[in-house]
Amino acid sequence: MNTREILRQQGISQKAIKELVRELATFKKQEFQAQANSGSSNYNYKGSHSVVLLAMCDAFYRFTLVDIGAPGRFSDGGVFRDSLIGKKFESFDMDLPPPHRIGNIGFLLPYVFVADEAFALTSYSMRPYPGKNLNSNKIIFNYRLSRARRVIENTFGIMAARWRIYRKPIIASNKKIIKIIQATVCLHNYLMEKDRHSDMCYFSLDKDLLELPTTGILPLQNVGSNNYTREAAVIRDNFANYFHGEGAVPWQWQNVGHHS
């Protein structure tokens, strides 16, 4: 199954990827065995030592932006805010295309990155609506956001499957661990680009890939804030209205159990 077929099954057309979503983002923690005199800066909420890998990817499972090496004990908004990536987004210095009007909708939609609850809701990052008693618009938005986020989860899954050093905590110095992550990220992108132009496909990119045992890679706890601006809320509502209206796909109603 090629990438286009996978994206179509996930309800994400190539046009939608280009026009609606710029990047997908997530945080992961790479566990390692603590070295002598290493202190507690990398001691995380799981009771182990780790460094943070902040990564974004494109629709073809290639990492586009990475920030490696933040101490594992950091689990608040400072991780993203203090990263070079976060600073560039916050200062609107990422050279993103201007907002576009898609189809016949009466409002502009900006380029954003798709994230989960770990990130704050901003004008450049979309996270799910919180709560359980949500209306149909919000349920559909959360579903479509979740489907889109599978791309970044698959990206980590592919990398972990190729390099089994990620299957368990790494025994190495902090400096060497960062080098290992840097090297595997670069090699991963090289192989993904090579696979795009080859008739051979080494991975079946389905839900089974997400279930690979990767005990060395952990999700990061909440790094965002529940506070957001009215502008960010309006942008998310506009995306929700689009997915519920002109941008709807037939199967979304069946998957969330709503038909109106």
Average pLDDT over residues 169-185: 88
pLDDT band with cut points at 50, 70 and 90 for residue 104: confident
Residue 22 has a pLDDT of 39
- Judged against a pLDDT cut of 60, whether residue 32 lies above it is answered with no
Q: Are strands 49-57 and 63-71 parallel, antiparallel or unpaired?
A: antiparallel
Q: Which residue has the tokens 């945080």?
A: 27
Average pLDDT over residues 167-188: 88
- Judged against a pLDDT cut of 50, whether residue 7 lies above it is answered with no
241 versus 24: which is more confidently predicted?
241
Average pLDDT over residues 60-85: 78
> Comparing 8-22, 87-101, 133-147, 236-250, which segment has the lowest mean pLDDT?
8-22
pLDDT band with cut points at 50, 70 and 90 for residue 12: very low
Average pLDDT over residues 179-201: 85
Residue 256 has a pLDDT of 77
CA 103 vs. chain centroid, Å, equals: 26
Nearest to 147 by CA among 3, 1, 252: 252
Domain positions in the chain: 3-256
- Judged against a pLDDT cut of 80, whether residue 220 lies above it is answered with no
Residue 164 has a pLDDT of 85
Q: Are 163 and 184 in contact (CB under 8 A)?
A: yes
Three-state DSSP at 50 gives strand
Q: Are 52 and 74 in contact (CB under 8 A)?
A: yes
pLDDT band with cut points at 50, 70 and 90 for residue 106: confident
- Give the whole-angstrom CA distance, residue 50 versus residue 33: 8
Residue 123: both structure tokens together: 């004008």
- Measured over the CA atoms of residue 109, residue 115, residue 116 and residue 117, the dihedral's sign is negative
Measured at the CA of 83, the angle between CA 81 and CA 89, to 5 degrees, comes to 65
